[in-house]
Amino acid sequence: MQITLEGDARRIPVQAGDTILASLLRAGVPFPFSCQNGNCGTCKCALVSGDVVELERSEHALSAQERAMGIILACRSESRGDVTLRLLE
């Protein structure tokens, strides 16, 4: 499994059971984060392709509208195969 960020040629390896954020940080990718437990929303990003499992998080960190748009929390999502993400501005 690997993570690709749009506009970045690197392929970041994913270890089973790791969150997307943990994989990105382990690879030295600068990625915005704060609480790491799904409360703040700092690590929001768009899931462009692939499949993730979303772990428990605060309803305040990610709205239903954001979820419908494919926005995920990197700290509370685990990939289930190769994924491509887009950073939010």
Instruction: CATH number of the domain at 79, please.
Output: 3.10.20.30
Tell me, what's the pLDDT at 58? 81
Give me the domain span that covers residue 53: 2-87
Tell me, what's the pLDDT at 57? 81
The total number of structural domains in the chain stands at 1
57 compared with 84, residue with greater pLDDT: 84
pTM: 0.91
Tell me, what's the pLDDT at 72? 96
Q: What is the pLDDT of residues 11-70, one digit of tens each?
A: 999 998 999 999 999 999 999 999 988 899 999 999 999 999 998 888 788 888 999 999
Three-class DSSP labels, the chain: CEEEECCCCCCEECCCCCCHHHHHHHCCCCCCCCCCCCCCCCCEEEEEECCEEECCCCCCCCCHHHHHCCEEEHHHEEECCCEEEEECC
